[in-house]
């Protein structure tokens, strides 16, 4: 049985096999959690992202790539590109679900036992937090029920009180 854990805090401080980054399709860094991860992890992460860019181009929305975690207390960073919220009829839900499913797929491929997720798309990309929390938790549960034999723990790391309260109430149900 995989454990689902909820933490309020900074994902760059989490010790896990992999932490997930809410990146953009350039993979070259940005603000929010992306900026925090690149700052704390150092240039090895950007170097690895540039190498991926050179090989396969930009990362499409909903897709994910994996790199070293540089100086972070994790082995890998899985960079996924969440959808920008655009009213809800632009496949945002499906794309956000893909972020979680594709990140977990990469994690399994790399024998990751513990993985930490931020609240993808709920900052600069303005996905409504309540809807995003529903999608995140449902997608992770679906993946764990159907595909997983190896992941031991999934940690949802909420940076702000609103997300933490939303996740807490959904997970307690």
Task: Give contact residues for ligand AR6 (rule: CB under 6 A).
Answer: 10-12, 22-24, 30-34, 36, 82, 118-125, 157, 159-160, 163
What is the closest distance, in whole angstroms, from the C-beta atom of residue 114 to ligand AR6 in the complex?
Answer: 16
Catalytic annotation on 34? yes
Going by C-alpha positions, the residue among 56, 49, 58 that lies closest to residue 21 is 49
Q: Is 19 exposed, middle or buried (0-12, 13-18, 19+ CB in 10 A)?
A: buried
Phi and psi based region of residue 47 (left: phi greater than 0; alpha: psi -120 to 50; beta: remaining): alpha
Report the residue number, 5 or 150, with the smaller CB distance to ligand AR6. Answer: 5
Report the residue number, 114 or 122, with the smaller CB distance to ligand AR6. Answer: 122
What is the closest distance, in whole angstroms, from the C-beta atom of residue 146 to ligand AR6 in the complex?
Answer: 25
Report the residue number, 31 or 73, with the smaller CB distance to ligand AR6. Answer: 31
Rounded Cα distance between 17 and 5, Å, is 15
What is the closest distance, in whole angstroms, from the C-beta atom of residue 36 to ligand AR6 in the complex?
Answer: 4
Residue 60 DSSP SS3: coil
What is the closest distance, in whole angstroms, from the C-beta atom of residue 160 to ligand AR6 in the complex?
Answer: 5
Which of these is catalytic: 34, 130, 160, 161?
Answer: 34
Taking a C-beta distance cutoff of 8 angstroms, is the pair 24, 30 a contact? yes
Burial annotation 48-80 (CB, 10 A radius, 16+ → b, else e): bbeebbeeeeebebbbbbbbbbbebebbbbbbb
Report the residue number, 37 or 151, with the smaller CB distance to ligand AR6. Answer: 37
* Residues acting as catalytic residues: 34
């Amino acid at each position: 049985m995989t454990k689902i854990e909820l933490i309020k805090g900074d994902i760059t401080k989490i010790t896990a096999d992999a932490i997930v980054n809410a990146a953009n399709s350039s993979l070259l860094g940005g603000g929010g959690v992306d900026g925090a991860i690149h700052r704390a992890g150092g240039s090895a992460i950007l170097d690895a992202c540039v190498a991926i860019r050179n090989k396969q181009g930009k990362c499409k929305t909903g897709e994910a790539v994996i790199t070293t975690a540089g100086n972070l207390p994790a082995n890998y960073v899985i960079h996924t590109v969440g959808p920008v919220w655009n009213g809800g009829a632009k496949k945002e839900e499906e794309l956000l679900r893909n972020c979680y499913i594709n990140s977990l797929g990469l994690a399994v491929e790399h024998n990751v036992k513990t993985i930490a997720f931020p609240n993808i798309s709920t900052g600069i990309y303005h996905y409504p937090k309540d809807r995003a929390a529903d999608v995140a938790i449902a997608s992770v549960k679906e993946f764990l029920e159907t595909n997983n034999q190896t992941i031991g723990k999934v940690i949802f790391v909420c940076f702000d009180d609103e997300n933490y309260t939303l996740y807490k109430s959904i997970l307690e149900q």
